[in-house]
Structure 1
Amino acid sequence: MSSSTIPVEELQRRADEAFPVSPGTNEETALRHLATNADTAYRPRALADETEVAPNSVGKTLDRLYRKGLLDRHDGYYFVVQERVDEIRGVLGDLHNAEMAAADASATPPDTDGDDPIATADEVDELVDEVASTDSERSETR
């Protein structure tokens, strides 16, 4: 199956289960790195060296991910639970796509060609004045 398709059952399961990691957090950064390198186990310091997670935060971050059932650990090394690698990568991909869509939406420049269907407050005031003026003229001619 290509990366541009997903079984409907998997998509529905993801929607039903809230993923326990929020975008933009140390947990996401660490988990993304570990999922990308799922065949490698890391000690906390090595993970801090390869990511933007601060050395004094990485241990706590890894422990939280372990308690959430996303990581396994052995002899001080942490790694993604192997049975969940595809699921974790998929959800992290969904998070990344949502972040990119939000960034694209906020980066969209305002419509300056006058075709913007959303009126400004000044435009609304002008329109209200026009309608009121037209209504007054109609009343006077009756």
Structure 2
Amino acid sequence: MNNILNILLIEDNSIEIMKMKRTVSFLKLEHTINEAENVDEALEFLKDRSRIPDIILLDLNMPKISGIEFLSILKNDENLKYIPTVILTTSNNQKDIIECYTIGISGYILKPLKYEDYVKKIERTLAYWSINELRRT
């Protein structure tokens, strides 16, 4: 049985947020998408332990505090470090990829240019995480 995911999408681009929502709707998935437009919003969201997400989708290129800095904060928090975090970004910089995996991400996905390719990647990613045994708090 597939789990309905509670997703935290950390993305500062409103078009990308809309694209994710459109994709989940197009795929007829019942997942909940919570949005944070920056790292400060994400950290505030995560303070409420009743809303801890099953998975975090994180863009690396964020204002003020970068996605990599957020990862370090997240993975150093005993209550949050277990949350699967998947990078969803346009950066294919090998240094970023290695640093993210070193910190402890669960996946690194490049955003494709074509919407059809984006839909396929999101569908596969969410399908995978919906059959995983996730830690429920």
TM class by smaller structure: under 0.3
**Structure with a larger share of its residues in strand:** 2
TM-score by length of 2: 0.25
Q: With a CA cutoff of 8 Å and minimum separation of 6, indicate the structure with the bigger relative contact order.
A: 2
Normalized per residue, which structure has more helix?
A: 1
Tell which structure's C-alpha radius of gyration is larger.
1
